[in-house]
Structure 1
Amino acid sequence: MLRSALVSFVLSAAAVSIHAQTPPPAVAYPPGGPATSTTAPAPMLLWPNGAPGAQGDADDDKPTLTAFIPAQNPTKAAVVVAPGGGYTHLATEKEGTMFAQWLNAQGVAAFVLKYRLGPKYHHPIEIGDAQRAIRTVRARATEWGIDKGKVGMMGSSAGGHLAASTGVLFDDGLATDDAIDHESSRPDFVILCYPVIRLDAPYMHSGSRKMLLGETPDDALVEKMSLTGLVNSKTPPTFLYTTTDDKTVPVMNSVLWYEALVKAGIPVEMHAFQHGSHGSGLAQADPALREWPNLLLHWLQANGWAAKP
């Protein structure tokens, strides 16, 4: 069934590849190697006067954005990066800071998002934090040398669910006294790494569902936040990276998202590697998986979001 589905997707004129274990060239890092958390810039509060729905004044009540601005950004593109962690913690180092430094090495601005988490916070708090991050980048685009029309969203695992959510749950701006709210929250492109998509059986990630929606969510909310039914002609172009034998988030999450995008006529490229554990990040220690950042770079270059060599 999976094989026939993938063949069908290829015939739909979108890009998909299944990778065997072939060693590729290593991806380029910035000078000095991959970033560590000690080199990251200082985070900024998304809402300096207090976040909507905040339940206190602790660190976990304060969503932030950390800006990584490259010395040169020829295409003026930017990516908001949402680390994964099952909506209960954030893999900020591997799926945030390191991704941001990699994007900087390609001449792309990056912004690592710290969003609020369960079990303290549930939907729609998380999507609200992500939307605010996208709006903030657009509102300060001139300051950071960014084109408002080239702001993407990247996420891994549960962060991938959040990034995919921004691609189907967005608006053109809000009528408030806050100028940041006037900006669109729609990302211009989306990058998903082994994402959670479905929050229902048989392919759900039960931990993400519980942390995002609570113990006993309404069936209609579960279906809505399983996202595939929300895809339409305005959903942004998407790059997908996953592994077929992922034991944590079933590969069918990516396959079903790919299928929904193809049916809606959305440009999409998916790379499903044969083997690989969940949460691989840049995967530089794996001779096969370390190819995926190069594939992402080619996709960014082909679409004008990273400069061609």
Structure 2
Amino acid sequence: MKHLALTALALAIATPAAAQMQITPIAKPKLAEIPLYPAAKDADKEQWEHVSGKYGQIVIDNDTVRNVTRPTITPYLPDPAKATGAAVVVAPGGAFMSLSMSSEGEVIARWLAEQGIAAFVLKYRLNETPRDSKAFMSALGQRMGQAARNLPGADIKEPRATQDALAALALIRTRAKEFRVDPARVGMIGFSAGAMTALNAALEGQGSARPAFIGYIYGPMTTVTVPTDAPPMFAAIAMDDGLFRKQGFAIAEAWRNARRPVELHAYERGDHGFGIGRPGTTTTGLLPQFTDWLRMHGLLTASR
């Protein structure tokens, strides 16, 4: 499989499977990026790498970035003839230490654009990591291993990522006419740490500043306090998720108890980091189901 989040890879760092992995520094791709804070003076420290090899029986082929200090969005806009007016900020995962820019960014965004949905890949700020690739993978493996075993020290968070998500939503709404989107139909879909970022934007954003809806894909399943005006949530996770399979579905229950719209998909197999879907499992239905859910809520009805 070509699309696997780096977070899933990290679970195998100390195993023989990890020895089959290769991390190769690459040049930053040429992207049509839009800076979230054009006047910011932060030094550009980001590192791009290509991760390849095998995780068990799964083939890995993914571009990643880490040490992001200058957050951006990259638009993937639909053919105007197909445009629905809906927009989605796509937040990749990577434990707030890295971003899976291919499997949980560009691939997702291009698929959404084909459905007439404007997509914007969010490159948000991250925890600082060692410049050396091996030292980085060791630190990532340790963090994800602690998270998988619910051990202390696996405090996975980055408040600046939430700030960047809210800034991205605001930027898109400000330039809605240019992007041909409806400011009232700008939401988010996030994967793993990106799911946590989308969730935090929904919980911490005020009123119209928050996402209009969120896709919460293999994020933590623990409960949260849900505001009475929280946006609709589409949640998805595999029952064999290597990080969160023992947590139940409390977050979906919290949404339901707050009387807010929520849909939950719990796939039998897929593990963590299945991205657009793992062949041979029902996770391949993720994006069609997400767009069907948007359609059910009237969010894909083209503006007249």
Residue 235 of structure 1 pairs with residue 230 of structure 2:
yes
Q: How does 1:39-118 map to 2 (within 5 A)?
A: 41-50=31-40, 54=42, 56-59=43-46, 60-72=68-80, 73-118=82-127
Q: For 1:282 and 1:251, how far apart are their aligned partners in 2?
A: 23
Q: 1:303 offset after TM fit, Å? A: 1.3
1:195 aligns with 2:204: no
Structure 1 residues 73-119: Cα deviation after superposition (integer angstroms, max 9, x where no partner): 54300000100001100011001111101111110000000001114
Aligned twin of 1:268: 262
Helix, strand or coil: the match of 2:120?
strand
1:163 aligns with one of 179, 193, 198: 198
Shift in alpha-carbon separation, 1:49–1:197, aligned structure 2, 3 A: farther
The RMSD of aligned alpha carbons is 2.4
Distance of 2:40 and 2:157 partners within structure 1: 17
Q: 1:94 to 1:251 in 2, by over 3 A?
A: farther
In the aligned structure 2, how far is the partner of 1:276 from the partner of 1:195?
14
Q: Which amino acid aligns with 1:126?
A: A
Task: Answer yes or no: is the 8 Å Cα contact 1:116–1:126 preserved in 2.
Answer: yes
What code does the residue aligned with 2:79 have? A
Spell out, residue by residue over 1:24-70, the C-alpha distance to the aligned partner (whole angstroms, 9 max, x if none). xxxxxxxxxxxxx999741111111117xx4x343421001000110
% of aligned pairs identical? 35
- For the residue of structure 1 that corresponds to 2:32, the secondary structure is coil
Distance 2:186 2:92 in 1: 17
Structure 2 portions without partners, runs of 5+: 1-26, 47-67, 130-155
1:27 paired residue number: none
1 CA distance for matches of 2:31 and 2:183?
22
How does the TM-score come out when normalised to structure 2?
Answer: 0.69
Q: 1:44 to 1:144 in 2, by over 3 A?
A: same
Determine if contact 1:164/1:190 at 8 Å carries over to the other structure: yes
8 Å CA contact 1:81, 1:113 repeated in 2: yes
Gaps of 5+ in 1: 1-36, 173-183, 199-227
Q: 1:237 to 1:144 in 2, by over 3 A?
A: same
Q: Is the 8 A contact 2:187 2:212 kept in 1?
A: yes
Q: How many Å apart are 1:152 and its aligned residue?
A: 0.5
Q: Is the 8 A contact 2:85 2:301 kept in 1?
A: no
- Equivalent position to 2:209, from 164, 168, 185: 185
Q: Look up the SS of the partner of 2:125 in the other structure.
A: coil
Look up the SS of the partner of 1:168 in the other structure. helix
Local SS of the residue matching 2:97: coil
| Counterpart contact for 2:75–2:121, Cα < 8 Å | yes
Report how many residues are paired: 228
8 A contact 1:106–1:306 mirrored in 2: no
- Flag the 1:271–1:112 CA change in 2: closer, same or farther, 3 A: same
| Aligned partner of residue 79 in structure 1, secondary structure | strand
**Does structure 1 residue 247 correspond to structure 2 residue 242?**
yes
Question: How has the CA–CA distance of structure 1 residues 229 and 284 changed in structure 2, closer, same or farther, with 3 Å as cutoff?
Answer: closer
Structure 1 SS opposite 2:126: coil
1:124-165 per-residue CA deviation (whole Å, 9 max, x = no partner) reads 211111110110110100111010000001100111011111
Higher relative contact order (CA 8 A, sep 6+): 1
Q: TM-score, normalised by structure 1?
A: 0.68
In 2, distance between residues paired with 1:249 and 1:272? 12
Distance between the aligned counterparts of 1:84 and 1:133, measured in 2? 16
Task: Tell me the distance in 2 between the aligned counterparts of 1:236 and 1:127.
Answer: 16
1:288 aligns with 2:282: yes
Question: Quick one: distance in 2 between partners of 1:167 and 1:130?
Answer: 10
Structure number with higher strand proportion? 2
When residues 289 and 40 of structure 1 are mapped into structure 2, their CA distance, relative to the original with a 3 A threshold, is farther
Superposed CA offset, 1:3-24 (max 9, x none): xxxxxxxxxxxxxxxxxxxxxx
Aligned-partner residue type, residue 40 of structure 2: G
Query: 1:271 and 1:122 mapped to 2: Cα distance?
Result: 25
Question: Whole-Å Cα distance in 2 between the matches of residues 65 and 111 of structure 1?
Answer: 6
